[in-house]
Amino acid sequence: AQSVTQPDIHITVSEGASLELRCNYSYGATPYLFWYVQSPGQGLQLLLKYFSGDTLVQGIKGFEAEFKRSQSSFNLRKPSVHWSDAAEYFCAVMVGNKLVFGAGTILRVKS
Amino acid sequence: DGGITQSPKYLFRKEGQNVTLSCEQNLNHDAMYWYRQDPGQGLRLIYYSQIVNDFQKGDIAEGYSVSREKKESFPLTVTSAQKNPTAFYLCASSFQQQTGGYTFGSGTRLTVV
């Protein structure tokens, strides 16, 4: 079955440090991939998406993600984390006409 | 401004009662979705609707019901048959092509007391 795995439940980084959140997917065809962010008690906001073409995609808030077919990965990165980036991050893959989400990674930022 | 509105933000229900969560969008989106969120489990699809007067079960539809009488509205009823209804419920919408991803509401937190 198609699935999305986010191996890290929690990640803590220092403000100003770089960030990489991991996402692996299991899907036969070329996937449509997404990263969303959720602040506590709020809905999800789309950070970026990949459908085809350039494997490095830029998103909002300074985030980027790289699609690596050989590794079935779509990791999210940011060069310098700000305290306001503390939130939960979800990777998702479009399966047919539905989005399937990973379990999420909670990012904590320490000053 | 276009968007998707969920109400109420907080909802308390006694065991054995049905309760309906509202979801309205003015984005002219064709498709609408209901997800349930529990800590550590990500989002799980309850029901979705691609067009008016049609909807399909998601992965965890038992104990829930929906209707889609208008394009803008997709209410979710949590029935007394749902064994563990306390959760955060998220509504989303998208165009049919879905290449833009989903737009989410701000959620309803349901607590059974």
For residue B59, the model assigns a pLDDT of 93
A52's tokens: 């085809």
| Residues in Cβ contact with B91 at an 8 Å cutoff, skipping those fewer than 6 apart | B4, B6, B21, B23, B32, B33, B34, B35, B74, B76, B104, B105, B107
Instruction: Render pLDDT for A17-74 as a digit per residue (tens, 0 to 9).
Output: 999 999 999 977 778 999 999 998 899 999 999 988 889 999 999 999 999 999 999 9
Task: Tell whether B101 is within 8 A of chain A (Cβ).
Answer: yes
The alpha carbon of residue A22 is apart from the nearest alpha carbon of chain B, in Å, by 15
Angle formed at CA A13 by CA A10 and CA A15, multiple of 5 degrees: 140
Span B79-92, average pLDDT = 93
For residue A19, the model assigns a pLDDT of 98
Span B65-75, average pLDDT = 97
A8, A102 Cβ separation under 8 angstroms? no
Candidates A78, A107, A72; CA nearest to A93 is A72
Task: Tell whether B61 is within 8 A of chain A (Cβ).
Answer: no
Cis peptide before B8 (omega within 30 of 0): yes
Phi, then psi, of A103 in degrees rounded to 5: -75, -10
Which residues in A lie closer than 8 A to residue B88 (C-beta atoms)? 41
Confidence of residue B2 (pLDDT cuts 50, 70, 90): confident
Higher pLDDT pick, B82 / A80: A80
Q: Is the pLDDT of residue B37 over 80?
A: yes
CA pair distance A37, A48, nearest whole angstrom: 10
For residue B1, the model assigns a pLDDT of 66
Task: Tell whether A104 is within 8 A of chain B (Cβ).
Answer: yes
